[in-house]
C-alpha cells in the first residue's frame, strides 16, 4: 500500500468513526406511536378463529400472531393474545369483536409500545354490508377527533384473518380498527382515567359536555350516558370519565361505541327502551339544559368543521357510493336543524334534560 493509499484509508476510517454515533442513533429512532397518525395499516392476524367463533360465550385467551407493515416499510410479527368482548356484537356477529393483549416489554421500540391491551373492531360477518357499518363507525370516531382532543383515537387497518387451525390457511381480508386506551386519552390531555361509579352532570366540563351532546345528536346516537352506567362500580355507558381526580372538577366524558347510531345505521340496532323514538335514524337531543349557554359556541364550531367532516366521507376509498351519499345526507340533515332557529329551539334547546 502506498503512502497516498494509507492516507486515504486513514481519512475514510476517521470519517466513519466521526459519523458512527450519528449512524447508530439513526438506527435507534423509534417509529411513530400507533395512534399518532391515521394512515391505514396493513395487518395479518393469525389465530384459531374457528375455535373462537364456536366459543363466543367463553372468556378465554387465545394465542394470536399479529404481522404488520411498519413505518420503516418492513414486515414485523409480534405475539399477542386475544379475548372476546362486547355484548350485542358478540351475540349477533359470526366473528366477534376482540381485545388484543400485548406484552408491554416486548412492544418497546415498536409502533405498539406503551399498550397493554386494545379493543379491535372486527368485520362481524363476511357480507360487505357489515364492513360498511364499521367503516362508518371508524369515521364517526374521526368526526369527534376533529371536534375535541378529549376523544378516542382509532387506527384504521386492512386486516387479513388467517385461521391457524386450517391446513389450507384460508383467509379473509376486511376493514377494521384499533381503539386508543382511555388511559392514553387522559395522558394526552394531562389528566387521568377516573374509576368512579357516577358523576353529577354539573361536574362535567361545560364546553366538552356541550360538544359531546351535540355530537351524539349529530350522529343520532341514544345509546350512551355520561353520568352513570349499568355497572354500579364504574361510570359510564359507552363513555369513560377522565379528569384531574375523583374529587376534583371538571370531569370529561369520552364517548365510544357508535354502532347503534343513526349515522352508522346497523340493521340490528334499536332505540333504547323508554324513549319516544321510532327508529335509530330519528334524532333526539339528550344534552343537559344547564349547558344550553354553551350551545351557540358549539354550533359555531360544528359549522366551521362541516367541510372537514363531510370530506371524511367523500374521501374514504372503502365506502360504497350509496353508503357515502346516505351518510352525507344524514349529516346534512343535522346542519339544517342547527342553522334553523325554529328547528333549533324545537328539536334541541327545548328537548334538553335537567333543570334549567
Kindly list the domain boundaries of the chain, sorted by start residue.
Answer: 34-180, 183-351
For the stretch 155-200, pLDDT in tens is 999 999 999 988 676 789 999 999 999 999 999 999 999 999 999 9
The C-alpha cell that represents 60 in the structure block: 378465554
d(CA 211, CA 300): 11
The C-alpha cell that represents 107 in the structure block: 412492544
> Residue 278: helix, strand or coil by DSSP?
coil
Sign of CA dihedral 323, 96, 233, 185: negative
How much is the average pLDDT of 299-328?
98
**Cis ω before 42 (30° cut-off from 0):** no
pLDDT on residue 126: 87
Sign of CA dihedral 229, 234, 240, 246: positive
Sign of CA dihedral 75, 80, 86, 91: positive
CA dihedral 136, 138, 142, 148 (to 10 degrees): 110
User: With 70 as the cut, is the pLDDT of residue 22 above it?
Assistant: no
pLDDT on residue 26: 46
Amino acid at each position: 500500500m502506498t503512502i497516498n493509499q494509507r492516507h486515504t484509508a486513514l481519512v475514510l476510517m476517521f470519517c466513519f468513526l466521526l459519523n458512527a454515533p450519528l449512524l447508530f442513533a439513526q438506527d435507534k429512532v423509534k417509529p411513530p406511536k400507533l395512534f399518532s397518525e391515521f394512515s391505514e395499516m396493513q395487518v395479518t392476524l393469525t389465530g384459531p378463529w374457528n375455535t373462537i367463533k364456536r366459543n363466543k360465550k367463553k372468556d378465554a385467551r387465545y394465542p394470536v400472531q399479529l404481522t404488520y407493515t411498519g413505518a420503516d416499510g418492513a414486515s414485523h410479527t409480534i405475539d399477542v393474545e386475544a379475548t372476546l368482548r362486547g355484548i350485542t356484537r358478540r351475540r349477533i356477529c359470526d366473528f366477534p369483536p376482540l381485545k388484543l393483549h400485548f406484552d408491554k416489554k416486548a412492544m418497546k421500540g415498536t409502533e405498539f409500545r406503551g399498550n397493554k391491551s386494545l379493543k379491535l373492531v372486527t368485520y362481524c360477518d363476511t357480507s360487505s354490508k357489515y364492513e360498511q357499518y364499521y367503516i362508518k363507525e371508524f369515521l364517526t370516531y374521526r368526526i369527534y377527533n376533529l371536534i375535541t382532543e378529549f376523544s378516542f383515537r382509532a387506527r384504521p387497518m386492512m386486516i387479513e384473518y388467517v385461521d391457524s387451525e386450517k391446513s389450507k390457511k384460508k383467509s379473509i381480508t376486511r376493514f377494521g380498527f384499533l381503539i386508543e386506551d382511555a388511559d392514553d386519552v387522559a395522558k394526552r390531555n394531562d389528566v387521568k382515567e377516573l374509576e368512579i361509579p357516577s358523576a353529577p352532570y354539573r361536574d362535567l366540563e361545560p364546553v366538552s359536555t356541550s360538544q359531546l351532546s351535540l355530537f351524539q345528536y349529530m350522529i343520532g346516537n341514544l345509546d350512551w350516558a355520561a353520568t352513570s352506567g349499568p355497572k354500579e362500580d364504574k361510570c359510564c355507558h359507552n363513555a369513560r370519565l377522565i379528569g384531574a381526580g375523583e374529587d376534583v372538577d371538571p370531569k370529561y366524558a369520552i364517548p365510544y361505541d357508535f354502532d347503534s347510531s343513526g349515522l352508522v345505521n346497523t340493521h340490528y340496532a334499536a332505540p333504547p327502551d323508554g324513549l319516544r323514538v321510532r327508529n335509530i335514524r330519528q334524532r333526539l337531543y339528550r344534552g343537559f339544559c344547564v349547558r344550553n349557554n354553551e350551545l351557540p359556541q358549539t354550533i359555531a364550531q360544528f359549522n366551521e368543521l362541516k367541510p372537514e367532516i363531510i370530506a371524511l366521507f367523500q374521501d374514504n376509498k372503502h365506502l360504497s357510493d350509496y353508503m357515502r351519499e346516505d351518510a352525507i345526507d344524514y349529516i346534512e340533515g343535522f346542519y339544517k336543524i342547527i342553522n334553523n332557529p325554529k328547528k333549533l329551539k324545537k328539536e334541541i334547546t327545548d328537548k334538553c334534560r335537567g333543570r334549567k
